[in-house]
Amino acid sequence: MQYPTPGDNFPDYTSSSDWEGRSSDAADTSNDSSFSFGMDLENSDVTFKITSDDPADPGEDGTCTKAPPKKPKPPRPPPPRKSKPDSSSSSSSKSEKVADLVVQKVRWLYREEKKWVPFIGYDSCQMEWKYRQAQLQVKEDEEGMDVDIGTVAVRGGLYEVDVAKRQCHAIYWSDDTVKVMRGTWFYSSGAEPIEEGMANDIEKEHLDLFTRDNPPEPPAQPTKGAQKAMHELYFKDCHVDWYSKDAVYFYSNSTSSRIARSIGNTLGFSKASTSGYKLMRGYPTPASLDDKPPPISHLVFVVHGVGYVTDKKAIIKNCSDLRKSASKAIAKHLPDLISPASTQRVEFLPVEWRSSLKLDNGMVSAITPYKLKGLRVVLNSTGMDVLYYSSPLYRSEIIQCVQAEVNNLYEMFRQRNEGFEPNGGKISIFSHSLGSVIMYDIITGWNPIHLYDHYLSHEQSLHPDLSTVSPDQHDLVAELHQARIRVSGLEKQLLATNQIAAAVNRPKLNFKVENYFCVGSPLAVFLALRGVRPQGNGSISHIIPKAVCSRLFNIYYPCDPVAYRLEPLILRHYSTICPLQIHRFEGKQVAYHTIKTTALPVALKTGEEMKGIQESDAEMLGAGEERTSPGSSTSTSPQHLPRGGAAGFTGMRAWFSKTAEKSPELEALEDMERAILRIENMAESNEKVEEDEMESVELEHRVDYELKESNLGSSYLSALTSHTSYWTAADVGLFVVSQLFPEYAFVE
């Protein structure tokens, strides 16, 4: 079978009588001969079957049977949905010369998830000007050397583009580079760009055709048949036809496209309607300098916690998820922030600190047993960070690394946004898990060495071992005691004279923190173990001074096993008051300070009540559950466990106990259950109920904010997933932006 060439003709219908009695639907063949075909694209086989209405209709034996003569019908026109290039319009504009594309019609794009995404108008104009500047410098450079034209900041100032290399890379973090292209020709349907090299050839050919003093005229078109192209440009796998200045079509040279064109030509369809794609010169929406985000008025540093030692890109993705949640919340609940008149914007920067730390130089991995290697690797990459930070050997290294990273990011940001500080820009911190403890110590300057020195300066009693010396050594003990008092006095004088130097040299931030968001944070436990106790005045000053931080927010899921409340460390009786519930994204939004406080339901504290919970949970396991012998070390029966309430872990045990044979993971879970029960019993036996005399005092600002969990699923499973669910939660993004911009969030 011979395939048609790109210039094949298709019928040209100009008489209105040819359209009478015709359907506009290409599939309507009620008045035509019946035509059907079968096509095998792989073998390029086409089978035709024609049932004709001609007077001589061949029968099965090959003879012709005469039929009454019929009035001949005009051939079927091409479908109206794919109109052929308009020669009249081209002839009317044939004298117009084509100029170079203006800056606004060129659109730059970047690659994201296998598709090209256009830059906003302002960014595209900046890149196009930079590109044309480079082209001009190249023409003026006689030696043809490479010209360094610098980069262009794009995407809200988070990325910059190297126009010469066609690369877009992140400014404030590494390993995030995407491709960039300059778009001049696009498919008219969908505005998808033509590959840049091909588009440049098409543009050059287009300018050669229509920038002449006497542009070529469209060829005379036949009355019937395919319209002729005035110019053709061939590539390896495709070609482009010009029918006029405004009618340019792209055709693929693949087998299936050629077959479609051949069949269409046989049926009388145009070449463009069967396999052609109309092209348009320039992006359909011109780029505008007004298409520009407002300046950044609030900067948020996002600090990760444990578990990022093996994947340093995780915090970049988490920060991106938080940025998307915040943008979604602003678009729905704070639309004035994205209006053309807005002068405020929030931006989030990730702080990745774990991958640059060497710490033990792999010694922990070297001493890790091979048994349960997968579980141990997970524990080493998560829980070990807490042990590192608790160690006096590595704590200072972690503190200095995080502090330096945050200050470096801020310095980079300040240099690129010179108007941020003069215009009163504010800075907040969003920290997760252990990151909240690290940032708290940096903000407040807490140091365990200073705490120990403070303890020694107040300790004047005799050393316990000195009380057992013989009577003839009492004079020596008294002399030692006087020496200690003398040394203590000298230390006080030295510390007093060195107080300013100590304050200057301690790790600190180069800015004041406006809002400190602790998310899934164990900070309350660390403070309690450091001796922080309620002061009874309702202010957070004794936890974090207002001179370095204005507001403190503690956000957590109720099933997050790592998170704890902070309000009882400020006022003890707030342990019986419910934390504020964070608004649902789709729910009603009201100011949080207008919400009244409510008391928590009375908690079960007696051993008998806790035992009842445990027994009821044991009944849920089913009467048919097999129990081991009393002497077995793996016995999980309630009577062989210590007293206390660990109903949650019992339920988790039931979830894991789907098979008769116990797995190593189940045994580890049971050991953990028994250890937790022992700890809970010890805590319950040592608990002392203290009377709070300041129950009439209220907090100046609420600190604890609780997220609402879904009613679906088990709370035990939520405990395993809730700690890492904050990044993508729409409620979290809404809460953050509502606190950063309260004047926009709660306007009736």
- What distance in Å separates the CA atoms of residue 19 and residue 13, rounded to the nearest whole number? 9
Q: Residue 6's closest CA among 328, 253, 218, 248?
A: 253
Q: Specify whether the CB–CB gap between 343 and 295 falls below 8 A.
A: yes
Residue 56: its H or E element: strand 56-58
DSSP at 470: -
Q: From CA 283, how far away is CA 120, in angstroms rounded?
A: 12
Q: How far is CA 22 from the centre of its chain?
A: 55
What's the one-letter identity of residue 584?
A: R
> Can you list the pairs that 404-408 forms with residues at least 24 positions away whose Cβ atoms lie under 8 Å?
405/351, 405/352, 405/353, 405/356, 406/301, 406/303, 406/351, 406/442, 406/509, 407/509, 407/510
Q: Which residues contact 615 (CB under 8 A, 6 or more apart)?
A: 638
Nearest to 93 by CA among 177, 4, 183, 217: 217
Tokens 């969030």 correspond to what residue? 745
- Report residue 654 as tokens: 């039931």
Helix-then-strand count for the chain, H and E: 20, 22
Rounded CA separation 442/544 (Å) = 11
Helices 647-656, 664-686: crossing angle, 10 deg rounding = 170
Quickly count: other Cβ atoms within 10 Å of residue 605's Cβ.
11
Pairing of strands 346-351, 549-556: unpaired
Task: Count the neighbouring beta carbons within 10 Å of the beta carbon of residue 361.
Answer: 8
List the catalytic residue out of 275, 431, 433, 738: 433
- The H-or-E segment that residue 196 falls in is helix 196-210
What is the C-alpha to C-alpha distance for residues 522 and 560, in angstroms, rounded to an integer? 10
CA atoms within 13 A on the CB side of 535: 12
Residue 690, token pair as written in the block: 């203290």
Pairwise CA distance, residues 163 & 586, whole Å:
42
Task: Report the 10 Å Cβ neighbour count for 257.
Answer: 17
Q: Which two tokens stand for residue 407?
A: 């200050």
Q: How many CA atoms lie within 13 A of 187 on its CB side?
A: 11
433 is catalytic: yes
Amino acid letter, 98? V
What backbone phi and psi angles, to 5 degrees, belong to 181? -140, 155
- 567, 568, 569, 572 alpha-carbon torsion, rounded to 10°: 130
Active site residues: 433
